[in-house]
């Protein structure tokens, strides 16, 4: 849970890039905006600083960190690839950097094992956000940075989100106007270059859609990329429970009210009047009057727009606890998404919502003889999206 309001709050918001850069160089932790989410940064070669990231977040040391750098050349200096792998990396970075793509490759031995979690592999990325790039240039050190939330909680897309989660630690948080940060809104896509197997392994869906990587591979004629295929796996950090708001969240299967609980339903611990509805494309709009609170992630059913605001919306939803809400019900984004290019963002968005709900689904059931009350019935989790 968040630190209590009486706890000391040594964390500090700052505006100065120079202060942020010199703090990183002297071993402090600095949270900074990127085009995806806020990161909690440390000098990647300072073992004590990297170790403190895990302490501050409460993150298991088995989960490696992404290293952020200002240029593709600086990223190359952190990895050890053969000629084929390096050529592939160069082609990928020329197409997708700066931007929300993390490349995982064998690490140079000088990198502290806390960064790689002893895996021998490192994730590297050049972010696109202007403040992040300027900070990396001024700091002139590679910056290891996970998302700047407490472990398991909703990822932060505002300086205030970082303060809410972590200001009881002596971190600095580089401020940026909300309109000017984290426009992609969900984390980078993580892809491992497996040179031996000739595979690009998709470890986490994110800001670069899988469809876009597939198109890229298909369009690459000649050269190293031709020898690689795209494969899907799950990275060490992709737990079933992740991005969780401080209220239990459930995935609403359908927009309609059922007359009776479906077969296999577990229990009905809540009513619709205690639920915050997170809608998509107006699918649940008819239920709005009966719910505790309501917000639509994108009335136009645009998955890219929804991804941009999804973490902010989950944090807003958990704050409705103060007004008596006891759960969050999330619309089925896969069922409602509009076609076109934005639809390519649906899998990454659905992944975040699936994990925010730990895969638990719910149905709404009209309770006869209760004057229109609607019960929220929970169903067992289904296979991952």
Interface with ligand TXA by CB under 6 A: which range of 42-50, 119-127, 294-302, 320-328? Answer: 119-127
Say whether 227 counts as a known binding-site residue: no
Task: Please report, for residues 277, 313, 320, the alpha-carbon distance to residue 280 in angstroms, rounded to integers and kept in the order given.
Answer: 10, 12, 19
Name which position in 72, 78, 190, 329 contacts ligand TXA (CB under 6 A): 190
String marking each residue 119-148 x if it binds Mg ion according to CB under 5 A: ----------------------------x-
Closest-CA residue to 188 (of 170, 174, 207, 169): 207
CB nearer to ligand TXA: pick between 104 and 173: 104
Cβ partners under 8 Å of residue 352, min gap 6:
186, 243, 307, 310, 311
* Helices 83-96 and 210-219, packing angle to 10 deg: 120
SS3 62: coil
Name which position in 63, 76, 134, 274 contacts ligand TXA (CB under 6 A): 63
Instruction: Give the Cα separation of 233 and 259 in Å (integer).
Output: 40
- Residue 244 in the binding site for Mg ion (CB under 5 A): no
CB nearer to ligand TXA: pick between 283 and 355: 355
CB nearer to Mg ion: pick between 147 and 308: 147
Name which position in 21, 103, 145, 310 contacts ligand TXA (CB under 6 A): 145
Q: Tell me if 69 sits within 8 A of 78, measured CB to CB.
A: yes
DSSP 217-241: HHH--SSGGGG-EEEE---TT--SS
SS3 194: strand
CB nearer to ligand TXA: pick between 122 and 284: 122
- For the stretch 238-268, what's the b/e string if a residue is b when 16 or more beta carbons lie within 10 angstroms of its beta carbon? beeebbbbbbbbbbbbebebbeebeeebeeb
SS3 372: coil
Q: Tell me if 129 sits within 8 A of 34, measured CB to CB.
A: yes
Q: How far is the CB of 265 from ligand TXA (least distance, A)?
A: 32
Interface with ligand TXA by CB under 6 A: which range of 116-124, 212-220, 337-345, 358-366? Answer: 116-124
Residue 41's beta-bridge partner residues?
Answer: 30
Q: How far is the CB of 353 from ligand TXA (least distance, A)?
A: 16
Binding residues among 145-184 for Mg ion as defined by CB under 5 A: 147
Residue sitting closest to Mg ion (CB):
147
Interface with ligand TXA by CB under 6 A: which range of 77-85, 86-94, 139-147, 325-333? Answer: 139-147
Q: Tell me if 158 sits within 8 A of 221, measured CB to CB.
A: no
Binding residues among 195-224 for ligand TXA as defined by CB under 6 A: 203-204
CB nearer to ligand TXA: pick between 54 and 228: 54
Instruction: Give the Cα separation of 13 and 139 in Å (integer).
Output: 18
Q: Which residues are annotated as a binding site for ATP?
A: 59, 147, 155, 204, 243
Binding residues for ligand TXA, rule: CB under 6 A, are 34, 36-37, 39, 63-66, 100, 102, 104, 116, 119, 121-123, 125, 145-147, 187-188, 190, 203-204, 235-238
Q: Which residues are annotated as a binding site for L-threonine?
A: 36, 68, 125, 145, 188
Binding residues for Mg ion, rule: CB under 5 A, are 147
């Amino acid at each position: 849970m968040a630190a209590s309001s009486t706890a000391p709050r040594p964390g500090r918001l700052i505006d100065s890039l120079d202060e942020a850069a010199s703090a990183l160089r002297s071993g402090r932790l600095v949270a900074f905006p990127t085009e995806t989410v806020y990161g909690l940064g440390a000098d990647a070669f300072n073992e004590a600083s990297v170790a403190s990231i895990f302490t501050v977040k409460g993150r298991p040391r088995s989960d490696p960190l992404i290293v952020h750098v200002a240029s593709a050349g600086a990223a190359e200096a952190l990895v050890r690839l053969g000629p084929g792998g390096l050529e592939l990396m160069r082609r990928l970075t020329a197409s997708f950097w700066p931007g929300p793509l993390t490349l995982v490759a064998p690490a140079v031995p000088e990198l502290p094992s806390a960064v790689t979690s002893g895996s021998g592999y490192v994730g590297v990325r050049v972010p696109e956000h202007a403040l992040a790039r300027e900070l990396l240039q001024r700091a002139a050190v590679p910056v290891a940075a996970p998302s700047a939330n407490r472990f398991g909680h909703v990822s932060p897309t505002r300086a205030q989100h970082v303060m809410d989660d972590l200001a009881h630690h002596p971190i600095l948080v580089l401020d940026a106007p909300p309109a000017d940060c984290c426009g992609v809104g969900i984390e980078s896509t993580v892809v491992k270059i497996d040179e031996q197997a000739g595979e690009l392994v998709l470890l986490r869906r994110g800001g670069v859609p899988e469809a876009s990587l597939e198109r890229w591979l298909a369009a690459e004629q000649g050269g190293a990329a031709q020898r690689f295929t795209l494969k899907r796996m799950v990275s060490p950090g992709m737990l079933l429970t992740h991005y969780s708001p401080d209220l239990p969240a459930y995935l609403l299967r359908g927009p309609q009210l059922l007359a009776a609980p479906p077969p296999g339903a577990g229990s009905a611990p809540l009513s619709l009047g205690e639920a915050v509805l997170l809608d998509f494309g107006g699918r649940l709009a008819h239920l709005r009057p009966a719910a505790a609170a309501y917000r639509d992630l994108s009335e136009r059913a645009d998955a890219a727009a929804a991804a941009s605001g999804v973490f902010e919306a989950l944090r807003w939803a958990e704050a409705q606890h103060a007004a008596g809400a006891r759960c969050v019900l999330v619309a089925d984004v896969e069922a409602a998404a509009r076609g076109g290019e934005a639809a390519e963002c649906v899998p990454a968005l659905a992944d975040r919502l699936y994990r925010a709900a730990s895969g638990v689904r719910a149905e709404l059931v009209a309770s006869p003889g209760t004057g229109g009350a609607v019960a929220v019935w929970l169903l067992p989790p289904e296979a991952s999206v």
